[in-house]
Amino acid sequence: MRGIAAVSLWLFALAAPAGAYGAAATPIVMHVEGADIRLTTRYEEARTRVMLRVCEGCDAVVRLSSPAVEARFPLKGKTGPFWLTVGRVSFHGVPWLYLVKSTGSLDRILSPAESRRYALDEAGLEASIRVQSGVDRRLYLNELVKLKKAEGTFGFDAGGLRKRGDGGLEAVFRWPAGTPPGRYTIDAFAVSGGRVVGRVSRDVLVHEAGLAAWISRLAVNHGVVYGVLAVLVAMLTGLIARLVFRRMPLGSGRS
Same domain? 219 vs 135: no
The C-alpha atoms of residue 209 and residue 116 are separated, in whole angstroms, by 37
Domain-located, residue 254: no
Output the CA torsion sign for 131, 134, 138, 142: negative
Same domain? 222 vs 113: no
Same domain? 201 vs 132: yes
Same domain? 241 vs 150: no
Mapping DSSP to helix (H, G, I), strand (E, B) and coil, where does residue 51 land? strand
Domain-located, residue 13: yes
Lowest mean pLDDT among 61-75, 145-159, 194-208, 222-236: 222-236
Lowest mean pLDDT among 19-23, 121-125, 229-233: 19-23
The C-alpha atoms of residue 37 and residue 34 are separated, in whole angstroms, by 7
Domain-located, residue 155: yes
Same domain? 92 vs 198: yes
Domain count, the chain: 2
Domain-located, residue 170: yes
Same domain? 7 vs 126: yes
Domain that holds residue 216: 212-247
Same domain? 135 vs 218: no
Per DSSP, helices labelled H in the chain are 2-15, 106-109, 112-118, 122-127, 137-151, 211-221, 223-247
Which pLDDT score, from 0 to 100, does residue 214 have?
44
Domain-located, residue 34: yes
Which pLDDT score, from 0 to 100, does residue 69 have?
87
7 pLDDT above the threshold of 70: no
202 pLDDT above the threshold of 70: yes
Do the Cβ atoms of 172 and 48 come closer than 8 Å? yes
Residue with more model confidence, 140 or 246: 140
Same domain? 78 vs 144: yes
In degrees and rounded to multiples of 5, residue 168 shows phi and psi of -80, -175
The mean predicted confidence, pLDDT, of the chain is 78
The C-alpha atoms of residue 29 and residue 172 are separated, in whole angstroms, by 16
What integer is the mean pLDDT of 200-204?
95
Domain-located, residue 253: no
What angle in degrees, to the nearest 10, is found between the helix axes of 211-221 and 223-247? 120
Do the Cβ atoms of 40 and 111 come closer than 8 Å? no
Mapping DSSP to helix (H, G, I), strand (E, B) and coil, where does residue 250 land? coil
Domain-located, residue 255: no
Domain end position, chosen among 208, 223, 238: 208
Which pLDDT score, from 0 to 100, does residue 99 have?
96
Q: Tell me: the pLDDT tens digits for 16-63?
A: 444 333 333 578 999 999 888 887 655 567 889 999 999 988 999 999
Same domain? 216 vs 199: no
The C-alpha atoms of residue 159 and residue 164 are separated, in whole angstroms, by 13
The C-alpha atoms of residue 102 and residue 161 are separated, in whole angstroms, by 5
> How large a percentage of the chain has pLDDT more than 70?
66
Domain-located, residue 134: yes
242 pLDDT above the threshold of 50: yes
If one counts every other C-beta atom within 10 angstroms of the C-beta of residue 244, the result is: 9
Same domain? 221 vs 198: no
Same domain? 203 vs 216: no
90 pLDDT above the threshold of 70: yes
What confidence category does residue 179 fall into, taking pLDDT thresholds of 50, 70 and 90? confident
Same domain? 99 vs 194: yes
> How large a percentage of the chain has pLDDT more than 90?
42
Which pLDDT score, from 0 to 100, does residue 54 have?
94
What integer is the mean pLDDT of 183-201?
95
189: Cα separation from own chain's centroid? 17
Do the Cβ atoms of 155 and 149 come closer than 8 Å? yes
244 pLDDT above the threshold of 70: no
What confidence category does residue 9 fall into, taking pLDDT thresholds of 50, 70 and 90? very low
What's the N-to-C CA distance of the chain in angstroms? 75
How many residues are listed for the chain in this entry? 255
